[in-house]
Structure 1
């Protein structure tokens, strides 16, 4: 069969659209899919019409991109519009519900029991980006009111601020919750006087029985006056830990047990690590209470929190209702799982560091910003990585390869190239004189060359050496060709370029290092790599370089030897 004129026009317009979209001759698969979608009468005869479709595609391919564009505008301008308006998969930040004239105020509220991790960085970047977008205010609030279970680290306060600034998320205001305990006490007094809070003396297990049975505990109906007396005794330290809890009255018969009379304050007599606070207080607010008060006091307009924290919002809703406040607009997002790290907790990492499993918070195996910074990941890559996730309730599973790909785009052009031979073995080469090798500093950038003194002995990687056999011909990168003459010890003879052609013989090209190079240790998530590298690496302190055939690394120390942190391939 042959194509009708209408069929031919359909094929041509989709061929042109495909060519315009990708800037290259149209692809049969993509065009066939569009044609069969619009011309169902051709589906049963696909094999018969394919040669005719190919003829049209061949004719289109002969034309220039300018001719494709002009012809498509002539016969199907709607397809040009489709290319312009076609939506990409949802990425980036969706619009906030902002009232006219409203100043957007958002916060990131970490517990400073360790430095920021990749998990917490999403909150830092997304909140700060929204504030930039709407010209508002970004607040870092340290929720450090648990001096016992999630005990704050004094260094972590500064680490958070430093990492925020490095990420381009400078806070407009920094608030430390442990400085504002009297504020929380004042609101507790108000709620007690209003009859919305009471001091509970139940053992934890006994209260749970009451709660599960939808029954009030024996202390729930005490008068505000009596509760105020008990509250004062709590504050003065007359009660022991776990003997009394201030609870917020809710619906004791609520269908969700988590919302029934939740705890607002508990007694903790462990001194706070901040010396200015230390043992000044023995009654500490729980997170739902402290967060509720602060979000109001600091004027939060929008909150982004994990969908697993919806119960927190519902509990806080009672406080807002009792005090006559309006709750901020809330967006929930799903969990992010990063394949390479799986599940981790800051408390768990802290314990592992204290046990000596990791060298510190910047150990390259850890998911902390401090570790990524030391490895040579740049803040722009992390920002794009986080913003591309968007804000949605769907759980996300993602690999660090995505982050590495973004980082590679940003660092590649600035990273000088060097030879680093890990697990080295030496090779003696006969038939050549000492010389100077001059490999380029970068294959694509006009940045000059480095000079390497070459003698009759060099180092190559043991894994390369193990694949050689007598008679093997190989190319030493940016140097010369050799032929293996002995394996134990490893020896070779020089081959003049006129004797052998790398391209014709498909010779393997391997890198090498001079015997007068420097010892190099690379610290990576997979462990340590030790070897020899070029002397010029020592000029690259704090810079990211690329060790050829190994990967990008940030040069961390150039003392007696070079210490580098592995960035990525």
Structure 2
């Protein structure tokens, strides 16, 4: 790197370090500024191995300043960015827009209505994150209502009910109430009877093909004008299970000439022969369609605001016909676009993930390769970080992209200061030591918290270093926490030079582990398992502890086995 480029790197690193420090009123951190620094300066990327070392020196100088000095220096370097930070601090910062007409209601009431066919994938987190955030903002109410009235095509998984509530707890939210729609069939039947008596529904025995042709031609079904008594009697026969699947349905009367054929006389109830997996519901054969069930429940539970995908706009239009018959007021509706998530090879689909587990291509719902909340939890990512990233997406009707790097950045902000550092070497090359180095290395547990103390790493007569860190002949390297060495005649000779050789930019700093005293580690990652050896203290860490393997990334200790420490990679 030439002197001109180095000066640019130092100048940009200082600006981003000051932005980070002033915004959070805390010391700046290398990990927190690397993303913005490289994003604003793409030409730095080819020097990616050198940038952290240069930035680290700059950050050290920035962190030595008082808050007032940092702010004044930032005002010199980037006054517009400073103004933006201070403008944000003047009031509450709400990434989510205000709910429509929220002031018109005594209490904002919302619902999260999952289909319990499996634990949640990452995309599912958006709904509870946004609803839970709105509940907290408006001091409102929200429930979880399991929409489980399709025991055939979207068959519930009995374990999913608790699994979803566990996922919700992981995200940091507790519902005010929890319901299962399959417990409420008698309520739906009663409302169907009332709708029939109002002349708003009729029983239909047309085949699907027959009705589709009539509907598309804007022609009424021949059963549409049955008298109320006949419809009620046939609906009771449906409830009693007198019909086979596909033999009879109950339709809501709408406008048979409506410009949108999907809204013409839609099905409210149908017969299903497959028993529900929940024992309490297994005897029922007449099941409501989601638009009827959900519409009735939203009214009875006093839901004031519904958030749903823009692809479900027709659901609101169908339900409004029912609401009009009953003279109910329809809730406020917010439609949003789909969220696309990067970083995964596995499709974001509960059924797809379930199939891969059944085929033993994934170890389970918490496999690090699975795009699930259980996987992120096992990797050591906090639910709060996921919520923060999801809330930042807002409620736009356009499809939005969520980069997992934004989740990682939010999590890094939460865990970096409290997470101790350790050394891990992958595919290590063994190098003998010479020149009488210290018998023990004492790198700090955390570079920003001297009070936590140091690690005690026995050195021995040789070390392991990563292949990319192997020095060239006669090159010097700094073994972090130990000292300066020169690679001479296949031996790392201790030189005794002080840290100034690093500050002057002549010597690379690398991590290492003692060859004889290191412990084996298996690190499970989204790209597959990685084997390595860690400093000996890692073997004494407890399950669920988070560590940062220096120059590699964060990892959660999963378990200690007889022959190795198993960790789950969190993120860089």
TM-score scaled by length of structure 1: 0.80
Q: Distance in 2 between matches of 1:203 and 1:118?
A: 39
Q: Distance in 1 between matches of 2:527 and 2:293?
A: 41
Report SS of the residue matched to 1:322: helix
Residues 217-273 of structure 1 deviation map (CA, whole Å, 9 limit, x = unaligned): 232222222222322222222222122222111111111111111111122121222
Residues 64-117 of structure 1 deviation map (CA, whole Å, 9 limit, x = unaligned): 989999xxxxxxxxx99x968999998234244124561221111000111123
**Structure 2 counterpart of 1:286, from 281, 285, 289:** 289
Task: Give yes or no for contact 1:434–1:455 (8 Å, CA) kept in 2.
Answer: no
Task: Give yes or no for contact 2:100–2:332 (8 Å, CA) kept in 1.
Answer: no
Task: Give yes or no for contact 1:131–1:138 (8 Å, CA) kept in 2.
Answer: yes
In structure 2, the residue matched to 1:493 is 492
Once the 2 structures are TM-superposed, how far is the Cα of residue 144 of structure 1 from its aligned partner? 0.9
In structure 2, the residue matched to 1:306 is 309
Report SS of the residue matched to 1:276: helix
Q: Distance in 1 between matches of 2:316 and 2:413?
A: 40
Indicate yes or no: 2:562 matched with 1:563. no
TM-score scaled by length of structure 2: 0.80
Task: Give yes or no for contact 1:522–1:564 (8 Å, CA) kept in 2.
Answer: yes
Q: Distance in 2 between matches of 1:244 and 1:83?
A: 62
Q: Distance in 1 between matches of 2:99 and 2:322?
A: 28
Indicate yes or no: 2:177 matched with 1:173. yes
In structure 1, the residue matched to 2:459 is 454
Return closer, same or farther for 1:95/1:146 CA change in 2, 3 Å cut-off: closer
**Structure 2 counterpart of 1:261, from 260, 265, 272:** 265
In structure 2, the residue matched to 1:135 is 139
Which stretch shows the higher mean deviation, 341-350 or 433-442?
Answer: 341-350
In structure 2, the residue matched to 1:509 is 509
Once the 2 structures are TM-superposed, how far is the Cα of residue 152 of structure 1 from its aligned partner? 1.3
Structure 2: gaps spanning 5 or more residues? 1-20, 23-68, 76-82
Indicate yes or no: 2:102 matched with 1:98. yes
In structure 1, the residue matched to 2:221 is 217
Once the 2 structures are TM-superposed, how far is the Cα of residue 420 of structure 1 from its aligned partner? 0.6
Q: How does 1:34-113 map to 2 (within 5 A)?
A: 91-100=95-104, 102-113=106-117
Return closer, same or farther for 1:389/1:183 CA change in 2, 3 Å cut-off: same
Q: Distance in 2 between matches of 1:236 and 1:348?
A: 36
Report SS of the residue matched to 1:474: strand
Report SS of the residue matched to 2:570: strand
**Structure 1 counterpart of 2:329, from 308, 326, 331:** 326
Q: Distance in 2 between matches of 1:88 and 1:389?
A: 17
Once the 2 structures are TM-superposed, how far is the Cα of residue 316 of structure 1 from its aligned partner? 0.5
Aligned residue pair count: 494
Once the 2 structures are TM-superposed, how far is the Cα of residue 536 of structure 1 from its aligned partner? 1.6
Q: How does 1:1-400 map to 2 (within 5 A)?
A: 91-100=95-104, 102-277=106-281, 279-341=282-344, 344-400=348-404
In structure 2, the residue matched to 1:528 is 529
In structure 2, the residue matched to 1:29 is none
Structure 1: gaps spanning 5 or more residues? 1-21, 24-62, 70-78
Task: Give yes or no for contact 1:94–1:390 (8 Å, CA) kept in 2.
Answer: no
